[in-house]
Amino acid sequence: MVVVLLLFGAYRSLGGAPLQAADPGVLLRSLHALLRASVDDLGTALASVGSAEVADSDDAPRARRVSASVQQTLDRLPPPGELDDGDAATRALLGAAAEDIGWAWRMLQADGANPGITAAVAALAGHASKCCDEALELLGSVPVGEPLHGS
């Protein structure tokens, strides 16, 4: 029993407490920027499908890690019922985009030279891009790190 308490105490002292975002809007803007960069990288990779560079690239594993970290961070936000409607909708859009991007990169890495796979990756990338665009509209067009409404 003492060992369990010690392990629990060590876990809590090393940051085991769940992350609570002070401002979900700021966090959502940061996650949007990560996803938008991954969508752009995916477009570049699609343009060079079949080349040796794409097959040997570390872009797919890195992008899948980004997608997974975005999904985990979204899971740490308060439940949608506790967010305002805009943040809840943005959260849903970014979650869909992260899922699409993760699968698109997996498929591209597995068999990017297959025309059917390439078409599916393009469809997923297009949907992820639309989700990111709609999320940006909900967030406003203020870039990450910039003050809102000129304040």
pLDDT tens-place string over residues 107-130: 888 876 788 888 999 999 999 999
Dist. CA 34–CA 70, nearest whole Å: 8
- For the record, the structure tokens of 116 come out as 């059917």
Helices 115-139 and 24-47, axial angle in degrees (round to 10)? 150
pLDDT tens per residue across span 2-38: 555 556 555 655 655 555 545 888 889 999 999 999 9
Mean pLDDT of the chain: 79
Q: Which pLDDT does position 49 carry in this prediction?
A: 75
Radius of gyration for the alpha carbons in the chain, expressed in angstroms and rounded = 18
